[in-house]
């Protein structure tokens, strides 16, 4: 294969300042890339009203924060596949027959049909799924309209990525803290693997911290990029992070390495925790995790020296012991004195100068009877209204508002319960489903269930840039703008008090519109124009910025970053935003919900003869963000097919070789993948890539452009054995499967 061009080469001339535009007549706009959720500050170069290049920011703080997905984004958005006009389904659902309609006409029909469904089944029959990060300009307006209409059934990919971490962190100390990379002495990565083309700002922060001497500890079954540069790499068994955390706690408690004053003054439940940790002698931890006892001790001791950080990781968001793992991380932070200190993890609270998305959502208008109907709140309440309700008073006391919807994950319905209700298998029917910037079909567990759920809807509306497998099943596909084509005010997902503005760099094509416009026009068509009263998104931002005393345009010209001066140990004045005002090592909230108030570990179900292998889904591909991007030729030629990874030994025992096609199956479903033999993989684990479909394959029909043939979600179970108890999120890090070689004749891709 000929060598592929280095997409980063295009950035080479911008390493020094000042920077030279590559073309005459260039104007520049300060933009935030929203192709992935980390939102790098970049510069858009515009010629004749079109963005011709995206490059890394001129601000030294953000230098080199760019990846090939951001670089390729203008090409991706200009691609002929882009949806440019509202489409109304005219044939059978999923038949690929569409009629172009005007935006207003579409919204009028959508509103009429939604009203009819609400009238017949109640407002809770309307569910919405979004991913805040992609839509960018939702800003809580979707929830605001839902709260006024009366539906609690909002779900999101954040249920298994960061939103749930935020909700669970709040149970322990009331706010989800942010890692301070700038002055930490030790970074601990639980699987999380930032690299050159994934999570680039964090990758760069890790490199800078290492250069100043900070230690890096990596826990990963695979020899990942970060494992290779770690001071300590603990190659734990997949899904055993909770046990490893118990091991660290054991060392820290036995050796007295915790912050005694903090524990005495600011925590409750220490003695109970100690008793629970006794269940985990280091030898037992070593046996279960497969790591050496001495290495576990060494890692725990370095962490305890501090100040240390355990930056957010999605890996413990997606395990059947997720709640316990996240709670144990929170507990470690607290008892080792890493909470709200420089170089540790900082509790930001709201920015007092800007109206937050949590406020915009107006959760107080949804009445208690409707909140109680939130799907999944009876069985898996941790991040639902019911689970988070005990925090409301405390949140108001400490942070000034009752509803802190951090990372939009704190008042969600449970996705699996929602899909069951949509499929007609729940407590009540859900008959209208809206997906905004979320490829719902492929982005949760049990895809066959989601497929059934979608086919059982009376109304599906999708706001999208491309004809995703989810969009292919819609009644209406509404064309979305992109991050180059709209202004944005980024609030760090309500996690931090830092705001960053993004300037609109070009006009959206044809009828493409922002999520703000989607909700504004829907509210008006639902006869609720007062719910979204702002005419333009700039008016809306001006309103939010009222206290700053600047309009959005001036704000965006003036600031790259807008944040209050950092303050530490704020709890000394206010207490923590928990029911007790302390760090709850033993959680009163979990106890009140009928769960074990202390962390615990459930072993994975045993493998069977039929499904003897263990797989996880993950290892992000540098080329794509999640299920997107496969239509961009520059990226696709680098990563043309879905590839599973196995070790050379496992490949040999299965009788499969590099580039051969295989079927991966389990009781949930089956898919086809290509084999990649990697010596970085352990011998007892299979890696399945997330989010594969092929936009060039036929829409609808047998495979929905390959989604039913290649998507990892076909293999992810959501029965109780594979759900975290408290949150009900799926276990993506230890799923049984088998691998069978395919007859080459069957596999013409
Ligand atoms: N089975 C399984 N499920 C998973 C995961 C997994 O590994 N396996 N990973 C989880 C994780 S970590 C995450 S973050 C979630 C992500 O789940 P999603 O949020 O669904 O992420 P994407 O697959 O990127 O889908 C986003 C869609 O938004 C569209 N889009 C992009 N920009 C815009 C925009 O500006 N406006 C609108 N309206 N649409 C836009 C894209 O074209 C794309 O189709 O999935 C989670 N779900
Ligand atoms: N290029 C690119 N970048 C992305 C994304 C993308 O799609 N493409 N997605 C973004 C999003 S939404 C997210 S959430 C992040 C995710 O990115 P990361 O947090 O880096 O997650 P992954 O790359 O899925 O997996 C990281 C590591 O987890 C290890 N691992 C697997 N199972 C376990 C386990 O049970 N325990 C432990 N400790 N480790 C395990 C894997 O071996 C792998 O090396 O990436 C973001 N960045
Ligand atoms: S890491 Fe890449 S895709 Fe993500 S925001 Fe930065 S440039 Fe965009
Ligand atoms: Mo994610």
683 is catalytic: no
Residue 15: pLDDT band (50, 70, 90) is low
Q: Is the CB of 341 under 6 A from ligand 3?
A: no
Rounded distance from Cα 89 to ligand 2 centre (Å): 36
- Nearest partner of 565 among 497, 489, 661, judged by Cα: 497
The pLDDT tens digits for 457-509 are 999 999 999 999 999 999 999 999 999 999 999 999 999 999 999 999 999 99
The pLDDT tens digits for 24-82 are 789 999 999 999 999 999 999 999 999 999 999 988 999 899 999 999 999 999 999 99
Atom of ligand 3 nearest to the CA of 69: 3
Atom of ligand 2 nearest to the CA of 316: 36
CA angle 304, 309, 314 (to 5 degrees): 125
Superfamily per CATH, domain 178-346+568-592? Dimethylsulfoxide Reductase, domain 2 (3.40.228.10)
Q: Is the CB of 233 under 6 A from ligand 2?
A: no
- The DSSP code sequence of 376-411 is TTTTS-TTSHHHHGGGHHHHHHHHS-S---GGG-SS
- Rounded Cα distance, 549 and 84, in Å: 37
- Mutate-to-test residue for ligand 1 from 439, 483, 714, 727, highest number of ligand atoms within 8 A of CB: 439
Residue nearest to atom 4 of ligand 3 (CA): 36
Fold of 87-156+349-558: Rossmann fold (3.40.50)
Mean pLDDT of 681-709: 97
Atom of ligand 2 nearest to the CA of 617: 24
Mean pLDDT of 436-442: 97
Residue nearest to atom 2 of ligand 3 (CA): 67
What is the structure's pLDDT at 1?
A: 62
The pLDDT tens digits for 192-237 are 999 999 999 999 999 999 999 999 999 999 999 999 999 999 999 9
Q: Is the CB of 54 under 6 A from ligand 3?
A: no
- Rounded Cα distance, 500 and 439, in Å: 26
- Mutate-to-test residue for ligand 1 from 477, 626, 707, 716, highest number of ligand atoms within 8 A of CB: 626
Rounded distance from Cα 40 to ligand 3 centre (Å): 5
- Nearest partner of 132 among 419, 402, 495, judged by Cα: 495
* CATH number of 613-746, picked from 2.102.10.10, 1.10.3720.10, 3.30.160.100, 2.40.40.20: 2.40.40.20
DSSP structural state of residue 603 = P
Rounded distance from Cα 590 to ligand 1 centre (Å): 30
Asked whether the CA dihedral 221, 222, 228, 229 is positive or negative, the reply is negative
Tokens linked to 351: 């920015």
Q: Is the CB of 618 under 6 A from ligand 1?
A: yes
CA angle 677, 682, 684 (to 5 degrees): 100
Q: Is the CB of 332 under 6 A from ligand 3?
A: no
What is the structure's pLDDT at 744?
A: 79
Instruction: Select which of 6, 13, 37, 724 is catalytic.
Output: 37
What SS3 class is residue 582? coil
Rounded distance from Cα 161 to ligand 4 centre (Å): 5
Q: Is the CB of 438 under 6 A from ligand 1?
A: yes
- Rounded Cα distance, 178 and 613, in Å: 36
What is the structure's pLDDT at 17?
A: 45
Q: Phi, psi at residue 73, to the nearest 5°?
A: -55, -45
Rounded distance from Cα 482 to ligand 3 centre (Å): 14
The pLDDT tens digits for 365-411 are 999 999 999 999 999 999 999 999 999 999 999 999 999 999 999 99
Same fold flag, 87-156+349-558 and 178-346+568-592: no
- Rounded Cα distance, 519 and 145, in Å: 8
Q: Is the CB of 692 under 6 A from ligand 2?
A: no
Residue nearest to atom 33 of ligand 2 (CA): 238
Rounded distance from Cα 39 to ligand 3 centre (Å): 6
Rounded distance from Cα 66 to ligand 3 centre (Å): 5
Q: Is the CB of 635 under 6 A from ligand 3?
A: no
Q: Could you tell me the residue ranges of all domains in the chain?
A: 87-156+349-558, 178-346+568-592, 613-746
């Amino acid at each position: 294969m000929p060598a592929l061009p280095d997409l980063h080469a295009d950035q080479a001339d911008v390493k020094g300042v000042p920077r030279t535009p590559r073309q005459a007549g260039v104007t520049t706009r300060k933009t935030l890339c929203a192709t992935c959720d980390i939102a790098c500050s970049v510069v858009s170069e515009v010629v004749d009203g079109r963005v011709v290049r995206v490059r890394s920011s001129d601000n030294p703080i953000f230098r080199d924060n760019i990846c090939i997905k951001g670089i390729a984004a203008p090409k991706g958005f200009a691609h002929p596949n882009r949806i440019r006009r509202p489409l109304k389904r005219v044939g059978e659902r999923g038949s690929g027959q569409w009629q172009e309609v005007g935006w207003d006409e579409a919204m009028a029909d959508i509103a009429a049909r939604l009203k009819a469904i609400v009238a017949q089944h109640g407002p809770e029959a309307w569910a919405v799924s979004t991913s805040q990060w992609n839509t960018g300009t939702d800003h809580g307006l979707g929830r605001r309209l839902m709260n006024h209409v009366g539906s609690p059934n909002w779900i999101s990919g954040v249920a298994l990525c960061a939103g749930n971490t935020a909700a669970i962190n709040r149970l322990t100390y009331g706010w989800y803290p942010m890692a301070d990379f700038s002055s930490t002495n030790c970074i601990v990565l639980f699987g999380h693997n930032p690299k050159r083309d994934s999570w680039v700002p964090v990758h760069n922060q890790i490199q800078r911290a290492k250069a100043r001497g900070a230690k890096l500890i990596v826990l990963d079954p695979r020899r990942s990029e970060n494992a290779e540069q770690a001071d300590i790499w603990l190659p734990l068994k997949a899904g055993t992070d909770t046990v490893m955390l118990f091991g660290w706690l054991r060392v820290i408690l036995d050796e007295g390495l915790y912050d005694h004053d903090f524990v005495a003054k600011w925590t409750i439940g220490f003695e109970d925790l100690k008793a629970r940790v006794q269940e985990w002698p280091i030898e037992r931890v070593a046996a279960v995790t497969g790591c050496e006892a001495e290495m576990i001790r060494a890692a725990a001791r370095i962490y305890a020296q501090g100040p240390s950080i355990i930056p957010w990781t999605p890996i413990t968001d997606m395990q059947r012991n997720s709640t316990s793992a996240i709670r144990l991380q929170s507990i470690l932070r607290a008892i080792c004195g890493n909470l709200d200190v420089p170089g540790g993890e900082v509790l930001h609270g709201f920015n007092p100068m800007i109206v937050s998305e949590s406020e915009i959502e107006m959760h107080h208008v949804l009445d208690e009877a409707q909140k109680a109907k939130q799907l999944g709140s009876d069985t898996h309440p941790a991040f639902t209204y019911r689970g988070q309700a005990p925090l409301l008073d405390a949140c108001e006391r400490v942070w000034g508002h009752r509803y802190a919807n951090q990372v939009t994950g704190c008042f969600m319905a449970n996705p699996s319960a929602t899909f069951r209700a949509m499929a007609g298998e729940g407590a009540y029917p859900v008959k209208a489903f809206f997906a905004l910037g979320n490829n719902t079909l492929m982005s949760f567990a049990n895809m066959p269930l989601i497929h059934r759920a979608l086919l059982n809807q009376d109304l599906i509306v999708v706001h999208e840039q491309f004809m995703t497998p989810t969009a292919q099943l819609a009644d209406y596909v509404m064309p979305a703008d992109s991050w180059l084509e709209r202004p944005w005010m980024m609030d760090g997902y309500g996690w931090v008090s830092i705001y960053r503005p993004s300037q609109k760099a070009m006009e959206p094509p044809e009828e493409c519109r922002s999520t703000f416009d989607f909700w504004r026009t829907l509210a008006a068509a639902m006869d609720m124009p007062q719910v979204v009263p702002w005419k333009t998104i700039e008016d809306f931002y001006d309103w939010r910025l009222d206290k700053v005393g600047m309009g959005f345009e001036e704000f965006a010209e003036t600031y790259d970053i807008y944040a209050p001066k950092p303050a530490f140990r704020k709890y000394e004045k206010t207490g923590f935003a928990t029911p007790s005002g302390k760090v709850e090592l033993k959680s009163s909230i979990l106890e009140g919900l009928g769960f074990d108030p202390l962390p615990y570990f459930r072993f994975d179900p045993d493998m069977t003869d039929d499904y003897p292998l263990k797989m996880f889904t993950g290892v992000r591909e540098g080329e794509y963000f999640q299920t997107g991007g496969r239509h961009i030729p520059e990226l696709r030629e680098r990563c043309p097919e879905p590839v599973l990874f196995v070790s050379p030994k496992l490949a040999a025992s299965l009788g499969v070789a590099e580039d051969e096609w295989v079927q991966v199956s389990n009781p949930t479903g089956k898919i086809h993948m290509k084999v990649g033999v990697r010596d970085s993989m352990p011998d007892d684990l299979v890696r399945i890539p997330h989010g594969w479909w092929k936009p060039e394959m036929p829409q609808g029909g047998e495979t929905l452009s390959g989604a039913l043939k290649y998507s990892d979600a076909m293999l992810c179970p959501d029965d109780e054995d594979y759900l975290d108890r408290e949150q009900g999120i799926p276990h993506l890090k230890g799923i049984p499967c088998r691998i069978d070689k395919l007859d080459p004749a069957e596999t013409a891709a």
